Structure 1
């Protein structure tokens, strides 16, 4: 069986730019947590304003 497969070493990372995966994960997590905290307190304020 003759297969013309061009196998490349996956460790080469020819076109990959350097990334900080842990930093991206933490920024996304804390960014979303902060956003949801702002939304939560905003909804609490709206509830108190409308409950009069």
Structure 2
């Protein structure tokens, strides 16, 4: 009884996308810092407008 089974070596990593993890980390930290800076200055302006 011969079964046609294709065994993949898990070390091949055929489904992995090439990524630059360091760039992703830097972009995430910079993006969050930029968002928090915008929110901070927005709240400061809002505080001065409502006084």
Structure 1 gap ranges (5+) = 1-5
TM-score using structure 1 length: 0.75
Moved over 3 A (4+): none
Q: CA RMSD in A?
A: 1.5
Structure 2 gap ranges (5+) = 1-6
Q: Normalized per residue, which structure has more helix? A: 2
Q: For residues 3-51 of structure 1, what are the alpha-carbon distances to aligned partners after superposition, in whole Å with 9 as ceiling and x for unaligned?
A: xxx7x443x2110010010000000000000010010000000000001
Counterpart mapping for 1:21-36 below 5 A: 21-36=21-36
Q: Which secondary structure does the structure 1 equivalent of 2:23 belong to?
A: helix
